[in-house]
Amino acid sequence: MSIPSFKLSRLCVAVAIAAPAALVGSGAVAAEATVKLIVNHGQASTMAVGSHASAVGGRVTRDLSRLGATAVEVPASKVAQFKALVGAANVEVDAERTLLGQRVGPTATPVLRGAAIAGTEVAPYGIPLVQADKVKGTGAWQPVVCIIDSGIDGRHEDLKKNTMSGKNFTTSGKWNTDENGHGTHVAGTIAGVDNQIGVVGVNGKNQVILRINKVFDAGGSASSSTVADAMMDCLDSGANVVSMSLGGSSSTAVEKNAAQALDAAGILTIAAAGNGGNTAISYPAGFKEVVSVAAVDANKAWATFSQFNADVEIAGPGVLTLSSVPTGTGVIGSLTVDGTAYEAIAMTGSAQGSVSAPLYDFGLGQTDDTGVAGKVCLISRGVITFAEKVTRCEANGGVGAVIYNNAPGNFAGTLNGAPTTIPSMSLSQADGAALLAIAGSSANAAVAISNYAYNSGTSMATPHVSGVAGLVWSFHPECTAAQIRKVLNNTAMDLGDPGRDDKFGNGLVQAKAALQKLEGGFCAAN
């Protein structure tokens, strides 16, 4: 399956009622469109801007006076009049910011509790890829990682043991609820607890403290002014690292000013490069004060959706990454063979259920084979559709279907509505080869509502980098944000063209290599 290009941001244009609607006959006048703007007024007061907004039937939406700005919403027909009042040169569109990750595979409506992953813990491929599993011991302090996203499921089994606080910048829920699911996935990558269930994050031993600033509701859209406000709250809350898996195609002065304020305060700010698969620049990643993160897959290959340009600084795993989602909203495949857990992805359209039976080599699934009766089919990808493979497995008496890739890495597949009744899932080529060698072994295959899911996007790459920054910094509190940024770049695994390039930046972030560099006195020398 190829990863689709994700939509870049667009300008925020809202529809709201600017004034009480007058009645015409028996119907009301349609609500007038409104436009979200930012007034960069410097030392002038928000009150003065608010007076001008009120004069044209608008309102102040956010006070950003510490950044010399005010966000307003005014009727579209009054924009020119409003600009004349405050000075057109001071006004810019309050650009939209969107989340830069997308759920892969099936989803579920929320239930009270979903299943963990086969009652055991899985280390998603990104953890060893960034060497987080090679960092042992306890740090000297806990850096604060401020996540600006859609909130967090504070009761999640893999997150609730973290020390965390937060603030809600939306009208939806609380900071520790997540109506979208994206923020919980990001948080799991940074700090999923090593507790023998679910997944483990980069900082699985509580090496960091989390600050959760919620700017997205279920719809996944926010304004630049809201993001800037949340950035300043990160500063006020003592953040050391700010992680933003979000972006948009238009820059704003207020967001740039916030990035500069964080940089001046010694905070390392990290953001997603964007999912357009082109050379466009996404913001805030495009500001020089911000680390722009590209995405790679499990084979360290460039993710085709990842934006590539001169601002890209470093890369992290971002294709089919497994992490936490709000409790009971995921549907996940799990596969355990002879006590070893494998990373499996539920087929979209798979039946839910759990089976325990021997593994059986069912080839490509093209021909009937009654030997599979009562067994779990192990099937190679290729030639025919996933639906045909699973349907034939079931028709021959198979009780579960595991389709392994015919190319490096895993994949996400769909049954396209085929009426199957057995659990089906995908597996990587390497894991498929390993299981072929032990066909006949006892397997437990399940597809169930879960607290975990797979996402793809530069949104998923970003928390790997943010998490590694917090992890290595926890061992060396004497280092500055600039030094941590430099050591991550200097020790990244070079990928693509030799040296820095636009697709990978300086390369794949490497926790162990960075820590070894720090142990050698890097910060004292730099």
Contact predicate 128/463, CB 8 Å: no
Domain boundary among 94, 111, 140: 94
**Which of the two residues, 138 and 397, has the higher pLDDT score?**
397
Q: What is the model's pTM?
A: 0.88
**Which of the two residues, 349 and 515, has the higher pLDDT score?**
515
Report pLDDT digits (tens) over 193-204: 999 989 999 999
Beta-bridged to residue 384, according to DSSP, are: 382
382 lies in a domain?
yes
Q: Looking at 94, 149, 178, 431, which residue is catalytic?
A: 149
> In the prediction, which pLDDT does 122 show?
80
* 8: confidence class by pLDDT, cuts 50, 70, 90: very low
Report pLDDT digits (tens) over 147-166: 999 999 999 999 999 999 99
In angstroms, rounded to a whole number, what is the distance separating the alpha carbons of residues 517 and 486? 11
Q: If you average pLDDT over residues 73-92, what whole number do you get?
A: 93
What are 424's two structure tokens? Answer: 């089906």
Can you give 374-422 as a three-state secondary structure string? CCEEEEECECECHHHHHHHHHHCCCCEEEEECCCCCCCCCECCCCCCCC
Determine phi and psi for 61, rounding to 5 degrees.
-105, -25
Residues 6+ apart with CB under 8 A from 248: 8, 9, 10, 95, 96, 97, 98, 224, 282, 283
What are 358's two structure tokens? Answer: 């021997």
User: Do 140 and 286 fall into the same domain?
Assistant: yes
User: Do 145 and 247 fall into the same domain?
Assistant: yes
Q: What is the CA radius of gyration of the chain?
A: 25
Contact predicate 126/323, CB 8 Å: no
Contact predicate 510/315, CB 8 Å: no
210 lies in a domain?
yes
Percent of the chain residues past pLDDT 70, beyond the cut = 90
> In the prediction, which pLDDT does 334 show?
86
Instruction: Give, in order, the Cα–Cα distances in Å from 524 to each of 90, 131, 519.
Output: 43, 24, 10
**Of residues 38, 389, 78, 34, the one with CA closest to residue 226:** 38
Residue 356 bears catalytic tag: no
Q: Looking at 459, 464, 476, 501, which residue is catalytic?
A: 459
User: Do 206 and 220 fall into the same domain?
Assistant: yes
User: Do 310 and 416 fall into the same domain?
Assistant: no
Residue 459 bears catalytic tag: yes
- In which residue are the tokens 């409104």 written? 34
In angstroms, rounded to a whole number, what is the distance separating the alpha carbons of residues 517 and 514? 5
* 389: confidence class by pLDDT, cuts 50, 70, 90: very high
Average pLDDT of the chain, as a whole number: 90
3 lies in a domain?
no
In angstroms, rounded to a whole number, what is the distance separating the alpha carbons of residues 284 and 257? 11
Least confident of 185-189, 258-262, 267-271, 348-352: 348-352
Q: Report the amino acid identity of residue 276.
A: G
Instruction: Give, in order, the Cα–Cα distances in Å from 246 to each of 76, 194, 316, 430.
Output: 27, 27, 15, 33
Q: Examine the pLDDT at 168 and tell me if it is beyond 90.
A: yes
> In the prediction, which pLDDT does 103 show?
66
User: Do 205 and 154 fall into the same domain?
Assistant: yes
> In the prediction, which pLDDT does 409 show?
86
> In the prediction, which pLDDT does 105 show?
58
CB-based burial label for 368 (10 Å; 0-12, 13-18, 19+): exposed
Domain boundary among 427, 450, 473: 450
Q: Residue 73: give its domain's CATH number.
A: 3.30.70
492 lies in a domain?
yes
Q: How many CB atoms lie within 10 A of CB 219?
A: 13
Residues 6+ apart with CB under 8 A from 19: 32, 57
User: Do 130 and 221 fall into the same domain?
Assistant: yes
Residue 182 bears catalytic tag: yes
User: Do 460 and 518 fall into the same domain?
Assistant: yes
107 lies in a domain?
no
**Of residues 427, 445, 440, 433, the one with CA closest to residue 360:** 440
109 lies in a domain?
no
User: Do 143 and 282 fall into the same domain?
Assistant: yes
User: Do 247 and 304 fall into the same domain?
Assistant: yes
Number of domains in the chain: 3
Q: Residue 413: give its domain's CATH number.
A: 3.50.30.30
Q: Residue 192: give its domain's CATH number.
A: 3.40.50.200
Q: How many CB atoms lie within 10 A of CB 521?
A: 9
Q: If you average pLDDT over residues 341-366, what whole number do you get?
A: 92
29 lies in a domain?
yes
User: Do 432 and 464 fall into the same domain?
Assistant: no
**Which of the two residues, 102 and 480, has the higher pLDDT score?**
480
Q: Looking at 52, 182, 185, 476, which residue is catalytic?
A: 182
Domain boundary among 405, 435, 450: 450
User: Do 50 and 148 fall into the same domain?
Assistant: no
Report pLDDT digits (tens) over 89-125: 999 999 999 998 776 655 544 433 334 444 568 889 9
> In the prediction, which pLDDT does 507 show?
98
> In the prediction, which pLDDT does 116 show?
44
For 426, the domain range is 331-450
Percent of the chain residues past pLDDT 90, beyond the cut = 81
* 133: confidence class by pLDDT, cuts 50, 70, 90: very high
Q: How far apart are the first and last CA of the chain?
A: 45
62 lies in a domain?
yes
Q: Examine the pLDDT at 21 and tell me if it is beyond 70.
A: no
User: Do 223 and 296 fall into the same domain?
Assistant: yes
Report pLDDT digits (tens) over 204-258: 999 999 999 999 999 999 999 999 999 999 999 999 999 999 999 999 999 999 9
Dihedral sign (CA 422, 423, 425, 429): negative
> In the prediction, which pLDDT does 104 show?
67
DSSP strands (E only) in 141-252:
144-149, 164-168, 198-199, 209-214, 221-223, 241-244, 246-247
Contact predicate 299/319, CB 8 Å: no
In angstroms, rounded to a whole number, what is the distance separating the alpha carbons of residues 310 and 489? 14
